[in-house]
């Protein structure tokens, strides 16, 4: 998937993964239920790494295609061509889902 954004430094572009609309007990939740943004997403693009004090760049620990969990309130929301993207600093990514 080609996206119209190229993140800088240690920023990552993520597309949120929608959660199931059915509860564990099998109750289907309608679209009208107030829901929060997912804390899971798929990495669409990565920057070239954080610039270190010695002038080198730290390698990114995530790659395009990784499914990740991130801090709830860390992403900035960006809308381009009616598609919502999340921009996250690498340090706000908590885990890679295997």
Residue 6 lies in a domain: no
Domain that residue 45 falls in: 11-97
Task: Convert the pLDDT of each residue in 58-96 to its tens digit.
Answer: 999 999 999 999 998 889 999 999 999 999 999 999 999
Residue 3 lies in a domain: no
Residue 41 lies in a domain: yes
- Give the total number of structural domains in the chain: 1
Residue 1 lies in a domain: no
Residue 37 lies in a domain: yes
Residue 2 lies in a domain: no
CATH code of the domain in which 85 resides: 2.30.33.40
pTM of the complete model: 0.80
CB 40 within 8 A of CB 68: yes
Q: Is the pLDDT confidence value at 20 over 70?
A: no
């Amino acid at each position: 998937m080609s996206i119209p954004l190229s993140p800088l430094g240690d920023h990552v572009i993520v597309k949120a993964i929608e959660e199931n609309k059915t509860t564990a007990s099998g109750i289907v939740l309608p679209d009208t239920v107030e829901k929060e943004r997912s804390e899971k997403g798929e990495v669409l693009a990565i920057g070239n790494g954080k610039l270190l004090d010695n002038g080198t760049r730290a390698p990114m620990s995530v790659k395009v295609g990784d499914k990740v969990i991130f801090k709830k309130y860390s992403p900035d929301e960006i809308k381009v061509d009616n598609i919502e993207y999340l921009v996250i600093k690498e340090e706000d990514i908590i885990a890679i889902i295997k």
